[in-house]
Amino acid sequence: MKKYLFAFLQFRFGLEAQPMLIRILPEAEHAFAKSNRSALPGYTQHIQAYRNRLMVVSAGLLLTMGLSSCSHSASQSTAVDESKARQEKNLLATAALDTAKLENARNELNLTGKITFNQDQVVKVFPLVGGHIETLKADLGDYVKKGQTLAVIRSGDLADLEQQAVAARSQLSLAQKNMQVTEDMTKAGLSSQKDLVASKEQLEAAKGEVNRVNERRRIVGGNGSVYIVKAPVSGFIVEKTAAQGMELRSDDPENLFTISNLDHVWVLANVYESDLANVKEGDQATITTLSYPDKVFHGRIDKIFNVLDPESKTLKVRVTLDNADYRLKPEMFANVSVTYAGHDKRVAIPAKAVVFDKNRNFVVMVNQKNQPMVREVDIYKSIGPKTYLAGGLAPGDRVVTANNLLIYNALGN
């Protein structure tokens, strides 16, 4: 009977928690005593022995359950850590990293200026003869090629030049005949050596006149009385004073056309006296215009005009820009930002690495274990693509420069 009762209580303890065991034990004792009080003397001692054995079993069961729970918690913690590590690794898979560096903080100087022609590629077209403009073949803003006809002029000067050519040829022919006759007479003793020398001089003068007229005709060009104004270079007509029917004089100082190649343009910026010490040739410059506010043009100062404007008291500096798409037009207003080296040593990072949130600045940095973490930084100033820090990072720290906002939000959550 003892054996059955013990087995029964062991089975019950294996299924219930400790509070249940404590509640069941008196009931088991009472039942056992009632059924075996007369048959089993000393039942109290037996019951105590069973209670001791049951308590041992209960302690073992609870210890087993505790160890199982601890093992389960540890496995859960390990799984969470592994999941977190995998998530961080996936976040960094699409990230681009850069290294914080200690360097001189650059300064920025904002100037005003304008777009102008590249004076090395500007050609003014003057008429070489006077006359009447009969036809115009080009207009302001047109692109013309070298040798293209710009205007046709009916010129009296050109007709006179033709007459001069005829007269020069006649004088040459006469001088040649006179030279031949003089040589024959000299050989016959009918003429002196002096006459022979004079004939030679007349012949040389006639040849010179013919050459002069021919060269003049070659330079002027044209046919008869028609003078053709041609483009000496390829480019855009940026200035035009010619009009159909206009009368021209050969000594008129005004040009008919101005042609400029706009493949390269100049940006002339004004520098005040107080800023002259901060500007030198080779400094980087960024240019923006009102027409293209989202487009930034990059160049360098390639010339400083060492003459102050007497009225504005400013000195002009020049930046040459490539303008292959002809986007920039002369006389456009330009904002010019010039950067120059300072003297303060600061930690520099790419400006795109900074995340502004909650009125503060953060970066996503990667520690030595290749784990991303959020770090608050104190910005000293930002110049172009770089940001200089007053605190928050040390030289050599790695920061995320691509997809950093995505990683920042993921770490924040």
Helical pair 2-15 and 43-93, crossing angle rounded to 10 deg: 20
For residue 192, the one-letter residue type is S
241 membership: H or E segment, kind and range:
none
Alpha helices by DSSP H, 226-307: none
Count CA atoms within 13 Å of residue 277 on its CB side.
2
Q: How many helices (H) and strands (E) does the chain have?
A: 6, 20
For 92-105+344-412, give the CATH class.
mainly beta
On the CB side of 43, how many CA atoms lie within 13 Å of its CA? 17
Fold classification of 156-224 (topology level) = Helix Hairpins (1.10.287)
Q: Are 372 and 356 in contact (CB under 8 A)?
A: no
Q: Which two tokens stand for residue 385?
A: 């693509």
For domain 108-118+261-342, the CATH architecture is Beta Barrel (2.40)
Task: Compute how many other C-beta atoms are within 10 angstroms of the C-beta atom of residue 48.
Answer: 11
Q: Are 179 and 199 in contact (CB under 8 A)?
A: yes
Express each pLDDT in 272-310 by its tens digit.
Answer: 988 888 888 988 899 999 989 889 999 999 999 988 888
> Does 346 score more than 70 pLDDT?
yes
Q: Tell whether the model's pLDDT for residue 51 goes beyond 90.
A: no
Q: CB neighbours of 47 closer than 8 A, spacing ≥ 6?
A: 29, 32, 33
Find where tokens 């207003």 sit.
333
| pTM exceeds 0.75 for this model | no
DSSP letter, residue 223: B
Q: Which pLDDT value is given to residue 44?
A: 55
What are the tens digits of pLDDT across the range 353-393?
A: 999 998 999 999 998 888 888 999 999 888 878 899 989 99
* Distance from chain centroid for Cα 174: 74
d(CA 259, CA 151): 14
d(CA 334, CA 327): 13
Contact partners, residue 198, CB within 8 Å, separation at least 6: 182
Return the H-helix or E-strand segment holding 390: strand 386-391
| pLDDT 10s digits, 282-291 | 888 999 999 8
The domain locations on the chain are 2-67, 92-105+344-412, 108-118+261-342, 156-224
Cite the beta strand spans of 139-275 per DSSP E: 143-144, 149-154, 226-230, 235-240, 247-248, 257-260, 264-272
Q: Are 365 and 399 in contact (CB under 8 A)?
A: yes
* 156-194: pLDDT as tens digits: 777 788 888 888 888 888 888 888 888 878 887 777 778
Alpha-carbon span 126 to 121, nearest angstrom: 16
The token pair at 55 is: 């308590």
Rounded to whole angstroms, the Cα distance separating 12 from 151 reads 119
